[in-house]
Structures are given as C-alpha cells and as structure tokens.
Chain A
C-alpha cells in the first residue's frame, strides 16, 4: 500500500506537486501526464529519492523520509536511461552488485546473478561488457538488477521511452508477468491496457484517477 497524504513539492518558488492525495493498493498503477506535470517527482517519492516538502508519503506504513533504507529495500526503481543505471562493467557483476549489500557470499551472488540473467533472457551475458549490450538489453539488465532483490513494489520511470517498438513490447511483457505491485510512469499509453488504475497529473495536481479507458480518454482531451 502506497499512500500520498497531502503531498506537495517545491523547488524554491516553483511548485512541482500540490496537495496529492492517493492510496494505491492495485497491482498495476500508472502515472501519466505531460512533461513537467510532476509525475516523475511523484514516482521518486515512493522510494525517497525525492522527499515531499509538504505532506507525507507512506509505503506499507513506512515513511521514506525517516526509514529510507527500509523503504528502498521494498521498492525497486527502473529509470529511463539504461546507460546510467549500469554501475559495473559486466552484466553479471552489475546484478551481483545489487546483492552485495545483502551480505551474500560471492559464489552465491554469482550463481543468483546468472540465474536472474537467464530468467530475463540474458543467459550467457554474465561476462559480457554491459556497455556493449543493446538499449533493450540494458533496460532488461536494469530490471533484472532490481528484481534480483525481490522488492514488493517496482517503480518504473518511463522505462520504454528510449526503446524501439520490439524492445518496448518485450519490456512490457516482462512487466506484465511480475508478481510485484508496479507503478509505471509512461507516455506509451498502449502499455496500459491491462492496468488497474491510471492517475493523470497536470501541473502538479491529480486531475483524473480511474480505470485506463476513462482516465486516458480524459488525458487525450486534456492534451488536445
């Protein structure tokens, strides 16, 4: 359960979010809205990357402002740019890096990393230089490096924006199969067909919050 309780955020004079009140417990939730609508900032509040300047966020009753570490243990995050999410030179090392802080011994880390890579269609890439993977593979690697930590919630901030159609579909397919609660920020509206709930943001406020059909109809009217 993710709760936003009167959440607002300002950078100096500039208000990015204002009085957002949401309780998200559906399995598939999407944030949509124009560039600058505040949806990325809202998503970053779920794992405490951005803290609200007003109001409060709770993830399973934990406040990311106070319990950042415990919240981040539960919440995985996939970003837009695959290049900047890879922190180790090879795919296997990058996934193993996620497991490092869990205090798992090295051999076990490598085994689990290889397993996780295979699960995500990257079998045989463990020793492959991560920077030489294709954009789609890099994004799958970023997803893999998060899921290996078995989070309860996965937040994705426009994960398919830089991918071609085939890789976009492949990534969406992966998301669909996950047990986790997924919060997806996106401009790719076709990914939202089977979502439970779509929240539309405009200029820092929630302007629609409904099932995909209804919410997206409202959104399309909004941008015309």
Chain B
C-alpha cells in the first residue's frame, strides 16, 4: 500500500500511550513551528526532534519507509522545481519543511488509534454544544476522514487493475471516470451502512432530519 498517511501500528511505547488529545495538540504546535521556521538549522532541529520521536515510538523502519515513499517521490519533484525557480537553499527549506511536517503527521497516525482521537475531539468540543455544535458529528467526521484515505486508495488500486485488465492504457479519463463512479457508489453504501448503525439517530439531530429527507 502506498498511503501517504500511515495506518495505526499497535505498540506500547510512551508515544503510543500518550493521550490522543495531548498528542494532537503537540502535533498542531509542532506543525505551526515548522511553518514559521525558515532557517535550515531550525528545520534541522525540527527534523532531529522528529527522529527522536520515531525512535521512541519503536516503529519498524520498513513501515515508516513504506508510508514515506510516495512523499519522497513528490518531494523530489518539488525540490527540482524550486531549485530551478528559487535556488538550492530555498528548495531545501521548502522540502525539509514539508518532509518534517508530513513525517510528524505520520508519526501521529502511526501511534494513535482513530477511536482515541475521535473520543479526544468529542471531549474537547463538548463545551461547544451550547452553540449548537454536535461533538459526536465532529468526531465521526474526523474518523471517517482518516478512514477515507484507506478506502480511496483501495478504490484507486481496483480501478487501475480493471484498467490494466482491459488494456485501457494510461489515459486520464479511463482512470478518472470509473474512479469517480466507484467512489460515489462507495459513498452511497457507506451512508446506508452508517444509517443502519444508527448514525444520525441522535435526538433532533440535523443529520437525522437530513438523512430522512434524502431517503424520501
């Protein structure tokens, strides 16, 4: 699998056991710092911190490399482009920044169960309830977003295989159209499955009313 964002890898390291909410907050702060930093040595420090994080998490290097492979290819392209447009130093800054930010996001998803993240977001959002925000819906949204990355990559793979089986070549339309249709069908089925599991059945929720409307 060539997901840009890695899937959770079970483990017992301190990073795995850190509460999801704090970890998420730390990720946000780290990402903001990485965006603000524009010196190579500052980003180098960020990269070093990240490496310590990976070491502490005791993830198998194979897993980490696999999740970063697609990113590295993309970064090579960005680097070449930036070098040509803005010079080597600025290219290095941009690429290192991207690498460290995506790496940190990866470290987070590799060591955090989505269920824990969803629970943390629901807890954090619960004071917003009085303003009409539904924490459960917010949590579900985040959970499904992470899950969608996996689902879409499976659909993309299936579409490519079907394309190859029919010898349809590498045309963009031959991939895009079936990919979109499969994705929409998946969305339809997922919506039904969620409704069957009672999502949107919370009292007076907008989702319940909306899904009722859609079903009519």
Q: How far is the CA of A90 from the CA of B117 in the complex (A)?
A: 13
Q: Which of A47, A92, A93, A106 contacts B196 (CB 8 A)?
A: A47
Asked if A87 lies at the interface with its beta carbon under 8 angstroms from chain B, I say yes
Q: How far is the CA of A69 from the CA of B211 in the complex (A)?
A: 12
Asked whether B190 lies within 8 Å of A87 as measured between CB atoms, the reply is yes
* Chain B residues, CB < 8 A from A88: 114-115, 143, 147
Asked if A2 lies at the interface with its beta carbon under 8 angstroms from chain B, I say no
Q: Which of B115, B151, B201 contacts A83 (CB 8 A)?
A: B151
Name the residue on A nearest B114 (C-beta). A89
Q: Which of B113, B193, B199, B215 contacts A84 (CB 8 A)?
A: B193
Asked if B92 lies at the interface with its beta carbon under 8 angstroms from chain A, I say no
Asked if A213 lies at the interface with its beta carbon under 8 angstroms from chain B, I say no
Q: How many A-B contacts at CB < 8 Å in the complex?
A: 90
* Chain B residues, CB < 8 A from A87: 143-144, 147, 190, 193-194, 197
Among B91-121, those with CB < 8 Å from A are: 113-115, 119
Asked if B10 lies at the interface with its beta carbon under 8 angstroms from chain A, I say yes
Name the residue on B nearest A128 (C-beta). B10
* Chain A residues, CB < 8 A from B115: 88, 90, 92-93, 96-97
Q: How far is the CA of A85 from the CA of B124 in the complex (A)?
A: 28
| Minimum distance in angstroms from A143 CB to a CB of chain B | 12
Name the residue on B nearest A78 (C-beta). B196
Q: How far is the CA of A90 from the CA of B202 in the complex (A)?
A: 24
Asked whether B201 lies within 8 Å of A101 as measured between CB atoms, the reply is yes
* Chain A residues, CB < 8 A from B189: 79, 81, 84-85
* Chain A residues, CB < 8 A from B143: 87-88, 97
Q: How far is the CA of A81 from the CA of B8 in the complex (A)?
A: 24
Asked whether B150 lies within 8 Å of A89 as measured between CB atoms, the reply is yes
Q: Mark B1-45, 1 if CB is under 8 A from A, else 0.
A: 000000110100000000000000000000000000000000000
* Chain B residues, CB < 8 A from A69: 198, 201, 203, 208
Asked if A108 lies at the interface with its beta carbon under 8 angstroms from chain B, I say no
* Chain A residues, CB < 8 A from B195: 49, 72
Q: How far is the CA of A86 from the CA of B197 in the complex (A)?
A: 11
Among A87-115, those with CB < 8 Å from B are: 87-90, 92-93, 96-98, 100-101, 106
Asked if A167 lies at the interface with its beta carbon under 8 angstroms from chain B, I say no
* Chain A residues, CB < 8 A from B154: 83, 131
Among B160-216, those with CB < 8 Å from A are: 186, 189-190, 192-199, 201-203, 208, 212, 215-216
Q: How far is the CA of A100 from the CA of B193 in the complex (A)?
A: 15
Asked if A171 lies at the interface with its beta carbon under 8 angstroms from chain B, I say no
Known: A50-B215, A87-B190, A127-B10. A97 touches B147 (CB 8 A): no
Asked if B88 lies at the interface with its beta carbon under 8 angstroms from chain A, I say no
Asked whether A131 lies within 8 Å of B150 as measured between CB atoms, the reply is yes
Asked if A73 lies at the interface with its beta carbon under 8 angstroms from chain B, I say yes
| Minimum distance in angstroms from A106 CB to a CB of chain B | 6
Name the residue on A nearest B193 (C-beta). A85
Q: How far is the CA of A85 from the CA of B196 in the complex (A)?
A: 10
Q: Mark A53-69, 1 if CB is under 8 A from B, else 0.
A: 00000000000000011
Asked if A36 lies at the interface with its beta carbon under 8 angstroms from chain B, I say no
Asked if A4 lies at the interface with its beta carbon under 8 angstroms from chain B, I say no
Asked whether A98 lies within 8 Å of B8 as measured between CB atoms, the reply is no
Asked if B146 lies at the interface with its beta carbon under 8 angstroms from chain A, I say yes
Q: Which of A49, A76, A83 contacts B192 (CB 8 A)?
A: A49
- What are 30 contact pairs spanning A and B, CB under 8 A? A48-B215, A49-B195, A49-B215, A50-B215, A72-B195, A72-B198, A72-B201, A79-B196, A81-B189, A83-B154, A84-B189, A84-B193, A85-B193, A86-B147, A87-B144, A87-B190, A87-B194, A88-B115, A88-B147, A89-B7, A89-B147, A90-B8, A90-B115, A97-B143, A101-B202, A106-B119, A129-B8, A145-B197, A146-B196, A146-B197
In the A-B complex, list the 6 residue pairs whose CB atoms are closest, starting with the nearest.
A84-B189, A77-B196, A93-B115, A69-B201, A127-B10, A85-B193
A87-B197, A101-B198 known, 11 other contacts, Cβ within 8 Å: A44-B192, A51-B215, A69-B203, A72-B196, A72-B201, A73-B198, A87-B144, A101-B136, A106-B119, A129-B8, A145-B197
